[in-house]
Amino acid sequence: MALTEQMESQGAWLFKYRSILPLIIFAIGIVLFLNNESNPENWILETNLQESLYELTCLLVAFLGFFIRIYTVGYSRPNTSGRNTEHQVADVLNTTGIYSIMRNPLYVGNFFMWLGIAMLTGNFWFIIAFTLFYFLYYERIIFTEEQFLKNKFGHTYLEWAQKTPIIVPKFSSFKKADYNFNWKKVLRQEKNGLAALLILFCLFDIGGEMVKEQRNFNETLYFAGAASIILYFILKFIKYNTKLLQDPE
């Protein structure tokens, strides 16, 4: 099998099972985090205030990624930038808005979301390893997606790809989105990400306090996590039982 065909085949498989990556990060990350919490001498932050500020920084990094996803999904065309896993879907080629400054904004958003989780471990080498693994993992997926887009949109795709960076944004080339922001699409697609993100932060906080045999829980974080779960089920009910979140035909 030629190298390009091998990369495309690997990318298709990774695309289908790309949701496994967060589980790997969480499994390894929680072990390292609990080890730090049970051995405070290994933790460079000495006070509760410093630790709280660091955790807030991690949360902000994660929410930066979530905001990138919201912006991307909200200004993307229908049947593009979705959560499909079985096969590639793109009715049109997005080239304006955030897609005018980089070709893969959703994966950049995912990176920051999971970087926030990785940072919680407080393990410098794990953060570096995660970053390298993430880009090696998604390199194949991006290759496969670009082969699909090149075959479907031909010269239009090649012309856009030639002037638009893969992941590092080129802000000078920004073009206003030619599609109005679609809150319905955002609510349909991103409810999962918000709930998962806050739940993971809650689990890290609970685990850390239990290891330290303390009860200094972050009640604000738990309230936000509980609210995100309630919102998730409300939106899920609306999605499958009403037409409120459907796009106009």
Overall average pLDDT of the 52-58 stretch? 89
Q: Tell me how many domains the chain contains.
A: 1
* pLDDT for the residue 237: 94
Q: Would you report the helix, strand and coil content of the chain in percent, each value rounded to 5?
A: 70, 0, 30
Q: Which tokens is 113 given?
A: 């979301």
Give a yes or no: residue 9 inside a domain: no
Collapsing DSSP to helix, strand or coil, 169 comes out as coil
Q: Which residue has the higher pLDDT, 231 or 95?
A: 231
Alpha-helical segments (H) within 124-218: 124-153, 155-163, 183-211
Residue 78 has pLDDT above 80, yes or no: no
Name the band, by pLDDT with cuts 50, 70 and 90, for residue 4: low
* pLDDT for the residue 124: 86
Give a yes or no: residue 25 inside a domain: no
Overall average pLDDT of the 193-211 stretch? 88
Backbone angles phi, psi at 175, to 5 degrees: -125, 135
Place of tokens 């239990």: 210
* pLDDT for the residue 50: 74
Name the band, by pLDDT with cuts 50, 70 and 90, for residue 243: confident
pLDDT in tens, 88-103: 556 788 888 999 999 9
pLDDT in tens, 129-138: 889 988 888 8
Place of tokens 């697609």: 189
Name the band, by pLDDT with cuts 50, 70 and 90, for residue 205: confident
Overall average pLDDT of the 3-21 stretch? 61
Name the band, by pLDDT with cuts 50, 70 and 90, for residue 204: confident
Give a yes or no: residue 136 inside a domain: yes
Task: Supply the range of the domain harboring residue 177.
Answer: 30-82+90-241
Give a yes or no: residue 155 inside a domain: yes
Q: Domain with 203 in it: what CATH number?
A: 1.20.120
Give a yes or no: residue 12 inside a domain: no
Name the band, by pLDDT with cuts 50, 70 and 90, for residue 232: very high
Distance (Å, whole) CA 82 – CA 80: 5
Give a yes or no: residue 64 inside a domain: yes
* pLDDT for the residue 225: 94
Helix (H) or strand (E) holding 85: none
Contact 237, 172 (CB under 8 A): no
- CB neighbourhood size of 177 (10 A): 20
Distance (Å, whole) CA 165 – CA 174: 12
pLDDT in tens, 23-36: 777 788 888 877 77
* pLDDT for the residue 164: 92
27 secondary structure, DSSP code? H
Residue closest to 136 by CA, chosen among 119, 111, 99, 161? 111
* DSSP sequence for 34-81: HHHHH-GGG-S--SHHHHHHHHHHHHHHHHHHHHHHHHHHHTSPTTSS
For residue 8, give Cα distances in angstroms to 11, 141, 142.
5, 8, 9
Look up residue 68 and give its amino acid: I
Burial class from Cβ neighbours inside 10 Å (0-12, 13-18, 19+) for residue 23 reads exposed
* pLDDT for the residue 42: 64
Place of tokens 């919490």: 37
Q: Which tokens is 26 given?
A: 């969480």
Residue 86 has pLDDT above 60, yes or no: no
Residue 76 has pLDDT above 80, yes or no: yes
Residue 196 has pLDDT above 70, yes or no: yes
Q: Minimum mean pLDDT among 110-119, 142-151, 168-177: which range?
A: 142-151
